[in-house]
Structure 1
Amino acid sequence: MKKVWKGFAAAVSAVAIAATGFIGVNAANAATIELGNQTQGGEDFVATGRTFAVYQLMTGTVDATGKITDAKWGQNAKGHTAGTGVTQDEITALQNVQDGKTGASLGKALYDTYVDTTNPYAASLSGKLTDVPAGWYVIVETTDDLPNDTSKSLYMFAPIQADQDLVVTPKTVNGPDFIKKVQENTKDVETPNPTDSRVNTENKWNDIADYNIGDDVPFKLTATLPSNYADYTKYKLVFTDTRGTGFDQPKEIVVKAGASTLTENTHYTTAFDGQKMTVTIDDLKVDAFKNLGIDAGTNITVDYKMRLNDSAVIGGNGNPNTAELEYSSNPNVDSETDKSHTEYTKTFTYKIDGTKKQAGTENKLEGAKFVLQRKSDGKFQATTADSKTEWITIDGVTDSSTSANVAAAVQGTKVKISTSGADGKFGFTGLDYGEYKLWEIEAPANFTLPTTPFAVDVTSATDNMQNLGAINTADGLTSVGATINGTTISGEKTTGVINFSIDNSSTSALPSTGGMGTTMLYVAGGAIVLIAGIGMAVALRRRRA
């Protein structure tokens, strides 16, 4: 029987060592087991917060090749009494468990079939476990709350000699590499350092962007499958995106595995709950995915758009979005999942507040009417019937249009008209970085309408970073301002407001440009002339007398 057992032991040992992550042994005076500081793949392994249980499968005499003789069942052998010999029938049963299984499936089968977890040989492997009897052991990670972005080790199974110091290198890797990006529409963005092939900077994917209220803002979530993806028999992904109140519900959702577009309700499901959107892929290993070439390193992406709405924060801390990924984290147990770190993006928008004044004075002018046109596409800021901001095209407006042309064209449309009040104030909210035409379409009473628009160039400095670590006021917006008809103005970044004034100026004759002050001046002048004339007549009449 020993000869048969030795042959089987050698076969099982060779497969187990290759598949489960133990490395070589060093001579010592007594058998010990300890966790190493590297994984089987050679990455650094941080044992802090990780727990491992040691189960004794058999005891006996183990040689340097892993062969075992005089085998007796260990204290954690399921269905067997510790210390009893292993029979020929039991060896045959072990061979049947081994047949056709390699890697994770072998480790799982041995654990499921032969390990009783009720009373582990060592409930927690921390530091060095000493005075360990020679034999075969199974080591299982039992961490309840994994650190973010990590996964559990495969079941580890290997022999130990009486004079060995067994250093365990867990077979574990990080979970999927997860990122979230927002697509900037005008500015250049930073290249990731180190470079990341998933971030297309030519298409302006970034952690920070500026947009107009009313724009549909593109976002992308990417999960890159881990190097141990093949060790899993089931693999689940759940993308969760949490939007700020400045965004409407996601739309135009496209999910891909590599270059293949997935089908909703066949490959994934989508759900919405308050400010959260979840996209769930229940199992990437099922038949529906088999011909898509999915393996370690495949990018699973979720693209979608969200409208920046009228509740958006202006300047300041911007409009945040966060995302997390839930993923299969234990190749030994299908149902276990853990979560990634949190990814962040911010989207900024700004406001211009103008004051209409009489040229050369501080007199505020009431009743001036303005509309705002976006230069990039010629669209005008407008307000829908349900008071939402949008940008629309107005027929009849061209590059050669005058203020009078624009005034006529916007009549009866949804274009937003901002009218200066008694304090001269008017303004437009929710503006992107970029150029605009500010049209005055109606001048105050007794003032002349300018023929051409005022040139407004909204500027902002943002940290166009690729690694926004948190949502806080220290990250994001550095400054905001504008250049208006060639004059540079600084704005207030905490409010996102750019204050400026527009003077009424004209080359027309004084009567056509004056207001009531000018009219009163003429009335008073006429009265003086009249009185002077009467005085001269009276004086002349007296002289003749």
Structure 2
Amino acid sequence: MKKTIQKLMAALLAVAMLCAMAIPAFATDGDATATAAATGTGSITIENAVTNQTYKIYRILNLEYHADTNSYRYTANGAWEGFILRENNNFKLDKETGAVTWINTNPENNGTAIQQIANSAGKYAEYTPNNVQEDGSAKATGITLTFSNLPLGWYLVVSDLVDLDKGALCSIGTTDPNAVIREKNSKPTIEKEVYEGDTLGYSNDAGIGDTVKFQTRIHVTDGNPTNYVLHDTMSKGLDFNEKSVTVLLMRDPKTGGSNYGGNLTPGTDYELVTSTSDTCTFEIKFLKALKPYDYIQVDYSATVTSDAVIGTTGNDNKAVLTYGNNSTTTESSTTKTYVWEMGVRKFANLGGDDTNHALADAEFQLYKKDGDTQKYAKFVETSTTSVYKLTGWTNNATEAIKVKTPANGNITFEGLDAGTYYLEETKAPVGYNKLTAPITVVIDRGTLPTVASQTISYTVKYGDTTADDHVVRVENKAGTVLPSTGGMGTTLFYVIGGGLMVAAIVLLVTKKRMENK
């Protein structure tokens, strides 16, 4: 199917980085055996935390006090020594004293440099052979989570539902032992796709009367999901099928597992609204509180109508999500459904300068095959002369609509899906021979666009011809066809012939009698 689901990019950002990020480049006295003393404890508070989400902290550097030199120094915390050695563009590790100093030309509180180090630290922690263990782990039960009684030092803070390389760094020191980090929750995302066969994508094609199936997916990534409303707007060429809606609650792909909520119940979990206050076709209002990292799948369908736009412009279906107390709107996600047409040009080659002589009064019908069954097209003429729009299909050949060519010899069939059709001439103009077999016609639209920036074109193929103008040219030959046995001509021949034979016999008998006299 399908396109991959957008990856969660929620990140933790520190709010008070100026003091927290600085690593003092203090001098050491060269006494590697000096005993480090405890420097006290501090705390890390996460604001705007996501309820039921687990947060972890890793202490990368220890802050130690050395009484003999009356100085503080940072040292690598256990397994993190390998990380400090690897980050030698940012840090210097004195192997004799164990002291870590900042050597990056950027200031210690440079946001870009700090975030790059945080990303690298997360990847280092994630790599199992490094044997890095977290120094604290807790699940948020509200919008604030605090880790208390922490040894002073430099910490990496991450969420277990976010990749480790999307964490934040902070430090707790003697001058500012209580750090505050604010969770920057991501905006929820919405993705809409349409089925072409069994495959979901940006676009499809269909004929008038066909059912088109859509799927919209909502990824809840904000920390306090409230007032979620899906707005779906269909173009005039699509008629929403209310009873087709199903809403499924899924587990976030990052956490593993398949659906765990099952189908949501209309009227209890959500409300389907078709009489909306805005211009959208329908809304789905979620009545029960959603949870962070819920993943919602909404399936529904529409029928292609006679108002469908024909050709490469396509028929749009757009979805947006509003959420939060201020009804913030996400970016829209749109699909396109294409509907095609084909033309017929009836002509005769009269020679000379008249090689494309239009023929009126030829009759055609169009059908397609479904296995061994022939389905005949039913059309209605539009306000444009000789342009016929599809209204449906029938298995009964007597119900097929036969279309007659006008004086200019041109007719158009609108509302067709891509595929194979059969154009059958049911009546030829007077003085011309009817085609002895249907013409196989293929509407070929090539590859469907996968994104909005791509375009589409299509051709009509018949015999050895590829018509970029989508017109099938049908030539009739002038001439007569011998009447079938039992026809009027034969009857007349029999009557005249029989009369002549009788007259001949009468003459013969009369002549004999005269000779005998």
What residue in structure 1 maps to residue 235 of structure 2? 244
Describe the SS at the equivalent of 2:142: helix
Shift of 1:462: 3.7
CA contact (8 A) 1:239 1:323 kept: yes
Matches within 5 A, 1:410-421: 410=399, 415-421=400-406
C-alpha separation between the residues in 2 aligned to 1:339 and 1:271? 18
Q: Is residue 459 of structure 2 the alignment partner of residue 481 of structure 1?
A: yes
User: Aligned pair 1:319/2:315, yes or no?
Assistant: yes
Matches within 5 A, 1:90-101: none
Superposition deviation, residue 510 in structure 1: 8.9
Deviation digits for residues 130-186 of structure 1 (CA, Å, limit 9, x no counterpart): xxxxxxxxxxxxxxxxxxxxxxxxxx9x9965645998754234334421111113x
Whole-angstrom distance in 2 between the partners of 1:363 and 1:306 = 43
- The answer to whether residue 272 in structure 2 is matched with residue 278 in structure 1 is no
Tell me the equivalent position of 1:254.
246
* CA distance in 1 between partners of 2:430 and 2:235 (Å): 44
| Paired residue type of 2:246 | V
Asked whether 1:461 is paired with 2:446, we answer yes
Q: Is the 8 A contact 2:238 2:304 kept in 1?
A: yes
Partners of 1:42 and 1:282 lie apart in 2 by 38
Q: Is the 8 A contact 1:207 1:344 kept in 2?
A: yes
1:391 equivalent to 2:392? Answer yes
How far is the alpha carbon of 1:268 from its aligned partner?
1.0
The residue number in structure 1 matching 2:88 is none
- In the other structure, the counterpart of 2:163 is none
Q: Which residue of 2 aligns with 1:217?
A: 212
The AA in structure 2 aligned to 1:317 is T
Flag the 1:162–1:40 CA change in 2: closer, same or farther, 3 A: same
Q: Which residue of 2 aligns with 1:431?
A: 416
Deviations 1:443-501 (A, max 9, x none): 22333333432111111134442xx2x4xxx5231x211111x1322325xxxxx1231
Q: Which residue of 2 aligns with 1:136?
A: none
- Mark the CA change 1:165 to 1:443 in structure 2 (over 3 Å): closer, same or farther: farther
Query: In structure 2, what is the Cα distance between the partners aligned to 1:325 and 1:439?
Result: 49
SS in 1 for 2:408: coil
Would you tell me which structure has more strand in proportion to its own residues? 2
Change beyond 3 A, Cα 1:313–1:462: farther
Match of 1:348 in 2: 338
Partner of 2:368: 374
Matched position secondary structure for 2:374: coil
**Relative to 1, partners in 2 of residues 1:459 and 1:15: Cα closer, same or farther, differing over 3 Å?**
closer
Map 1:203-214 → 2, pairs under 5 A: 203-214=198-209
Contact 1:351 1:428 in 2 (8 A): yes
Q: 1:363 aligns with which of 334, 357, 361?
A: 357
User: What's 2:471 paired with?
Assistant: 499
Identify the residue that residue 434 of structure 2 maps to in structure 1: 449
CA distance in 1, matches of 2:332, 2:431: 59
Matches of 1:43 and 1:254 in 2, distance apart? Answer: 43
Match of 1:182 in 2: 194
**Which amino acid in structure 2 is aligned with residue 323 of structure 1?**
A
Q: What CA deviation, in whole Å up to 9, does each residue of 1:113-145 have, x standing for no partner?
A: xxxxxxxxxxxxxxxxxxxxxxxxxxxxxxxxx
Change (3 A) 1:223 1:38: farther
CA-CA distance at 1:424 after TM superposition: 0.7
Contact kept in structure 1, 2:228 and 2:286, CA below 8 Å: yes
Q: What is the CA–CA distance in structure 2 between the aligned matches of 1:420 and 1:350, rounded to whole Å?
A: 20
Partner of 1:80: none
- Asked if 1 retains the 8 angstrom alpha-carbon contact of 2:390 and 2:416, the reply is no
Shift of the alpha carbon at 1:207?
0.4
Which residue in the other structure is 1:152 paired with? none
Q: CA deviation digits over 1:271-294, x for unaligned, max 9?
A: 234443211113345xxxxxxxx8
Q: 1:343-375: CA deviations, max 9, x gaps?
A: 121111211111111255422111112222123
How far 1:108 sits from its partner (Å)?
8.5
**Aligned letter for 2:196?**
E
| 1:489 maps to amino acid | T
Q: 1:346 to 1:311 in 2, by over 3 A?
A: same
Tell me how many residue pairs correspond in the alignment. 342
Secondary structure of 1:429's aligned partner: strand
Which residue of the partner structure matches residue 103 of structure 1?
A: 140
Per the alignment, do residues 321 and 166 of structure 1 end up closer, same or farther by CA in structure 2, a change over 3 Å counting?
farther
Q: Please name the residue that 1:172 is paired with.
A: 184
Encode CA deviations 1:54-84: one digit per residue, 9 max, x unaligned.
Answer: xxxxxxxxxxx9xxxxxxxxxxxxxxxxxxx
Give the secondary-structure state (helix, strand or coil) at the position aligned to 1:455.
Answer: strand
* C-alpha distance in structure 1 between counterparts of 2:220 and 2:288, whole Å: 13
Q: TM-score, normalised by structure 2?
A: 0.54
- Name the CA shift for 1:13/1:371 in 2 (closer, same or farther; >3 Å): same
SS at match of 2:236: coil
How big is the shift at 1:315?
A: 1.6
Offset at 1:245?
A: 2.2
Structure 2 counterpart of 1:430, which letter?
Answer: G
Change (3 A) 1:491 1:21: farther
1:426 partner SS: strand
Q: Describe the shift of the 1:106–1:248 C-alpha distance in structure 2 as closer, same or farther (beyond 3 A).
A: closer
Q: Secondary structure at the match of 2:440?
A: strand
Structure 2 residue aligned with 1:305: 301
Is the CA contact 1:180–1:344 (under 8 Å) kept in the aligned structure 2? Answer: yes
Percent identity at matched positions? Answer: 22
User: 1:30-109 residue pairs with structure 2 within 5 A?
Assistant: 38=115, 103=140, 105=142, 107=144
Shift of 1:213: 1.9
Deviates more, 1:446-455 or 1:163-172: 163-172
Structure 2 residue runs of 5 or longer lacking an equivalent are 1-39, 64-73, 75-100, 102-107, 122-134, 147-167, 251-258, 383-387, 485-517
Query: Deviation at 1:385?
Result: 12
Q: Which amino acid aligns with 1:266?
A: T
Kept after mapping to 2: 8 A contact 1:237/1:283: no
Are residues 295 and 505 of structure 1, via their aligned partners in 2, closer, same or farther at CA, if it must alter by over 3 Å? Answer: farther
Under a length normalisation based on structure 1, what TM-score does the superposition of the two structures give?
A: 0.52
Structure 1 residues 336 and 104 mapped into 2: Cα distance closer, same or farther (>3 Å)?
farther
- Aligned equivalents of 1:318 and 1:504: distance in 2? 35
